[in-house]
């Protein structure tokens, strides 16, 4: 069965984005998201793109970035879960790491947590720190444990025993017994086989808590799209077949945003611009990240209040998007976000009953979002409704309508600027040495202001920037991130044995997806630290121990500014197994020179503003600001003193001469 089309589908809080390859020029599409049943928006888009026949024939590959796991975690809507740990350690997840939000409060009130509702059972079996059995798991003890778990009538079970990453035998027996009783089980030796019972336990509990909801959604989507192949983006920037993804919900928490970074990496390679700071501004939030040649992964991520120690793209998210609500507090101060108007009713300008000001309304009031260009003209913008909502807000501030709109945008821009500082300046990177890559439906309207705030001299607005995350999904590799903790004092022979095991495991999973063995590439890394440290740094595998240690010393000095005269420990082995995708090539941009379709005056701008349609621009063309460059999925506001050049692929390269 040959594949004719490749479809990237990115579900956001406001819109669901589609990018279709395989039919000449890439086709793009947007529909309003349906949060209660996300598959409905996906099926609507597939129908409107005329792909039902190709899907029914299995000629359509669908790669999907989903927010189901993220939303369930943030909204506290996981499954009824029982946690099994060792006797005496039942409170380990509630105790946590003792990180306090109020350092000097001697009697802090613990914030409410979904962990407060989790039933915990303890297993009497025990392993020592080398994985050797100290207290065996008897048949009678196992039967009693299963009976206790079943009495809670759980929908899912999380299983996390001490040192199971060195010896999973006890977890495997308990898992088999519970699965025989009809319960889905997430076992820590399969979810995160590494040290740190708190982080390992949290990852396992999150997976168990979220997996039933994710599995139910993916099953509905797979049934609706069958027999079309369906792959899901994972948090580390690689995809996985939907049937394998259902049981790995914790790996999908950054599924959607990771697609944009996959596209950013590909774009950086094409433009020979490896140093990028990205900001993906959607309807409800903005995601920012930094690329220095490749995606930066972290195991210190968070989703809401919960630590997530599985590998994920290093990203910072704030509640500032096109749908972020503006309001005045009791002290008369203006705020923007983090609450959002969402897809329904949406901003006031959508004409769907919303009456509160959003960032999108501010752009409409200031003329930067023209009604005839919103979503290619398919979305009718109600300028009068936006102005009416802004007038109500302005009256509370004692300001004019346009002045209030400018204040809303200034606050939203400052929120995003602060987020970009977190992932750059606070980590030792100078933003001036990077280019700012803007994407997402609302990003182009703010890119110049953010670059100015950060002292950056260049920026990029890629072609189809409003759906770049969806496009990145199609090009993302099929990938597995395998991890295994090492016992103390493990020699090179033991390391090589574990590397071989992880490579075989990664290959087997990819082959199950239909990947040829000859297509699979493996990349090996070692997590290392100084003796006595708890945090690790990742270095590429080298055959010689001395070479690995030298790389670690260098990495430690770069990250922390010094190196120590202490022994170095090898903590974990990591293997990345991946196979690249080869979707159809995109045709080059034809030679042409687009003219401004009209000129207009905008509030707060002293000059005439030229308005261009991006689809008419040709390679090599240069546009001077102020200008609006509109396309079907977004508008770029080219501020005064900025200029934009169109490259051979149609990307906008923004510079500020003399900056």
User: Minimal CA–CA distance to 651: which of 620, 612, 605?
Assistant: 620
pLDDT band at 2 (very low <50, low <70, confident <90, very high): low
In a domain, 365, yes or no: no
| Helices and strands, number each (H, E), in the chain | 17, 34
* CA–CA dist 233, 255 (Å, integer): 5
Q: Give the pLDDT of residue 378.
A: 57
Whether residues 204 and 80 fall in one domain: yes
CA 337 to chain centroid: 20
Two tokens, residue 469: 């995350």
* Tokens at 544, concatenated: 């010689």
Q: Which residue has the higher pLDDT, 559 or 600?
A: 600
Q: What percent of the chain has a predicted confidence (pLDDT) above 70? A: 98
pLDDT at 534: 84
Calpha distance 513→243 (Å, rounded): 9
In a domain, 469, yes or no: no
- Distance between CA atoms of 303 and 235, rounded to whole angstroms? 12
> 186 and 97 share a domain?
yes
- Do 104 and 69 lie in one domain? The reply is no
* Claim to verify: residue 57 and residue 106 sit in the same structural domain: no
In a domain, 500, yes or no: yes
Kindly state whether residue 261 falls inside one of the protein's structural domains.
Answer: no
Beta bridge partners of 437: 278, 460
Give the tens place of pLDDT for each residue, 315-351.
888 878 888 899 999 999 999 988 888 767 889 998 8
Q: What is the pLDDT of residues 451-497, one digit of tens each?
A: 999 999 999 999 888 888 899 999 999 999 999 999 888 888 889 99
Output the average pLDDT for the chain.
91
Same domain, 101 and 130: yes
Within this chain, do residues 617 and 521 fall inside the same structural domain, yes or no? Answer: no
Boundaries of domain holding 606: 598-655
- How many structural domains is the chain composed of? 4
Q: Which of 225, 252, 279 is the last residue of a domain?
A: 252
Q: In this predicted model, what pLDDT tens digit does every residue of 400-435 receive, in sequence order?
A: 999 999 999 999 999 999 999 998 988 878 999 999
φ/ψ (deg, to 5) at 628: -115, 130
- Residue 398, burial from CB neighbour count under 10 angstroms (0-12, 13-18, 19+): exposed
- What DSSP state is assigned to residue 358? B
* Beta-strand runs (E) in 103-155: 119-123, 126-127, 133-135
Q: Is residue 42 part of a domain?
A: yes
pLDDT in tens, 70-90: 888 888 889 999 999 999 999
Q: Are residues 93 and 67 in the same domain?
A: no
Whether pLDDT at 377 is above 60: no
Query: What local confidence, expressed as pLDDT, does residue 180 receive?
Result: 96
- Cα Rg of the chain (Å, integer): 26
**Residue 63 sits in the same domain as residue 83:** no
For position 67, what pLDDT does the model report?
87
Note the Cα 136 to chain centre separation in Å.
42
Write down the pLDDT at residue 26.
87
The rounded percent of the chain whose pLDDT value lies above 90 is 67
- Residue 499 located in a structural domain: yes
pLDDT at 343: 67
pTM of the predicted structure, to 2 decimals: 0.85
Q: What is the DSSP string of 478-496?
A: EEEEEEEE--TT--HHHHH
Residues 101 and 128 in one domain: yes
Structural domain includes residue 356:
no
Of 377, 392, 337, 378, whose CA–CA distance to 360 is shortest? Answer: 337
Provide the pLDDT confidence category of residue 251 given band limits of 50, 70 and 90.
very high
pLDDT greater than 60 at residue 375 = no
Sequence-distant (≥ 6) Cβ neighbours of residue 544 within 8 angstroms? none
pLDDT tens per residue, range 528-556: 999 989 889 999 999 999 999 999 999 99
CATH, residue 197:
3.40.50
Among 528, 518, 578, which residue's Cα sits nearest to residue 548? 528
541 against 296, higher pLDDT: 541
List, in sequence order, the alpha helices (H) in 181-294: 188-191, 197-225, 242-245, 255-271
- What pLDDT is recorded for position 399? 95
Angle at 78 between CA 176 and CA 102, to 5 degrees: 115
**Final residue in a domain of this structure, among 179, 211, 243:** 211
Closest to 218 (Cα-Cα) out of 10, 66, 44: 66
Q: What is the DSSP string of 236-267?
A: TS-EEEHHHHTT-GGGGTTHHHHHHHHHHHHH
User: Does residue 225 share a domain with residue 124?
Assistant: no
Inter-CA distances, 495 with 129, 410, 488, 523, Å: 18, 53, 12, 14
Count Cα atoms within 13 angstroms, Cβ side, for 235: 26
Contact assessment for residue 635 and residue 629, using Cβ atoms and an 8 Å cutoff: yes
Q: Is the pLDDT of residue 659 over 70?
A: no
Are 20 and 103 found together in one domain?
no
> Please, are residues 274 and 291 in contact by the beta-carbon 8 Å criterion?
yes
pLDDT band at 106 (very low <50, low <70, confident <90, very high): confident
Euclidean distance between CA atoms 265 and 462, whole angstroms? 12
Rounded distance between C-alpha atoms, residue 27 and residue 467, angstroms:
10
Q: For residue 505, give the CATH number of its domain.
A: 3.30.1490
Would 269 be classed as within a structural domain?
Answer: no
- Enter the DSSP assignment of 116: G
Q: Which of 579, 610, 634 is the last residue of a domain?
A: 579
Residue 117: pLDDT band by 50, 70, 90 thresholds?
Answer: confident
What CATH number is given to the structural domain containing 238? 3.30.420.40
The reply to whether 113 and 206 lie within a common domain is yes
For the chain, give the number of residues: 659
Report the candidate in 567, 577, 525, 523 with the shortest Cα–Cα distance to residue 546.
Answer: 567
Question: What average pLDDT does the segment 12-25 reach?
Answer: 85
Pairing relationship of beta strands 297-298 and 301-303 according to DSSP bridges: unpaired
């Amino acid at each position: 069965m040959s594949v004719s089309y490749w479809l990237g589908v990115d579900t956001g809080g406001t819109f669901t984005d589609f990018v279709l390859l395989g039919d000449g020029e890439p086709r793009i599409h947007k529909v309003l998201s349906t949060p209660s049943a996300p598959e409905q928006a996906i099926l609507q888009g597939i129908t409107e793109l005329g792909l039902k026949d190709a899907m029914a024939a299995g000629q359509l590959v669908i790669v999907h970035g989903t927010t189901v796991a993220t939303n369930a975690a943030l909204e506290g809507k996981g499954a009824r879960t029982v946690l099994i740990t060792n006797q005496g350690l039942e409170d380990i997840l509630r105790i946590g790491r003792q990180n306090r939000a109020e350092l000097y409060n001697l009697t802090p009130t613990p914030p409410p947590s979904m962990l407060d509702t989790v039933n915990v059972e303890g297993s009497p079996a025990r392993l020592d720190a080398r994985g050797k059995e100290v207290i065996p798991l008897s048949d009678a003890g196992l039967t009693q444990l299963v009976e206790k778990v079943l009495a809670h009538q759980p929908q899912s079970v999380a299983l996390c025993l001490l040192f199971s990453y060195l010896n999973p035998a006890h977890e495997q027996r308990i898992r088999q017994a519970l699965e025989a009783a009809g319960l889905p089980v997430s076992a820590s030796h399969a979810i995160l086989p590494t040290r740190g019972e708190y982080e390992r336990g949290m990852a396992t509990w999150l997976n168990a808590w979220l997996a039933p909801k994710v599995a139910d959604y993916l099953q509905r989507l797979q049934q609706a799209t069958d027999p079309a192949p369906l792959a899901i983006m994972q948090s580390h920037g690689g995809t996985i077949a939907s049937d394998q993804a259902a049981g790995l919900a914790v790996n999908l928490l950054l599924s959607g945003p990771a697609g944009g970074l996959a596209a950013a990496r590909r774009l950086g390679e094409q433009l020979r611009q490896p140093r990028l700071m990205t900001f993906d501004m959607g309807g409800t939030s903005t995601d920012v990240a930094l690329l220095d040649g490749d995606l930066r992964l972290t195991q210190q991520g968070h989703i809401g209040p919960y630590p997530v120690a599985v590998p994920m793209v290093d990203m910072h998210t704030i509640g500032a998007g096109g749908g972020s609500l503006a309001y005045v507090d009791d002290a008369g101060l203006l705020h923007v976000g983090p609450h959002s108007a969402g897809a329904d009713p949406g901003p006031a300008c959508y004409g769907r009953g919303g009456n509160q000001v959003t960032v999108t309304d501010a752009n409409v009031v200031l003329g930067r979002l023209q009604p005839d260009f919103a979503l290619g003209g398919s979305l009718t913008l109600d300028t009068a409704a936006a102005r009416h909502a802004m007038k109500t807000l302005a009256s509370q501030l004692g300001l004019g309508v346009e002045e209030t709109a400018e204040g809303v945008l200034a606050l939203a821009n400052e929120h995003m600027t602060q987020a970009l500082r977190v992932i750059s300046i606070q980590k030792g990177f100078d933003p001036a040495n990077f280019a700012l890559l803007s994407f997402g439906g609302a990003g182009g309207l703010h890119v110049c202001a953010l670059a100015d705030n950060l002292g950056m001299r260049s920026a990029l607005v890629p072609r189809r920037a409003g759906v770049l995350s969806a496009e990145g999904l199609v090009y993302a590799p099929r990938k597995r991130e395998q991890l295994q903790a090492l016992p103390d004092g493990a020699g090179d022979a033991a390391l090589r044995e574990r590397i071989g095991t992880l490579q075989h495991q990664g290959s087997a999973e990819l082959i199950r997806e239909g990947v040829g063995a000859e297509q699979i590439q493996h990349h090996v890394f070692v997590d290392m630290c100084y003796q006595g440290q708890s945090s690790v740094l990742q270095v590429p595998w080298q055959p010689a121990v001395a070479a690995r240690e030298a790389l670690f010393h260098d990495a430690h000095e770069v990250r922390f500014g010094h190196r120590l005269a202490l022994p170095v420990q090898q903590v974990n082995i990591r293997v990345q197994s991946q196979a690249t995708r080869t979707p159809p090539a995109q045709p080059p941009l034809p030679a042409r020179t687009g003219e401004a379709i009209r000129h207009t005056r905008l509030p707060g701008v002293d000059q005439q503003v030229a308005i261009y349609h991006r689809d008419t621009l040709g390679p090599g063309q240069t546009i001077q600001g102020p200008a609006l460059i509109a396309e079907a999925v977004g508008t770029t506001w080219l501020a005064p003193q900025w200029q934009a050049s169109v490259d051979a692929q149609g990307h906008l390269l923004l510079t500020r001469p003399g900056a």
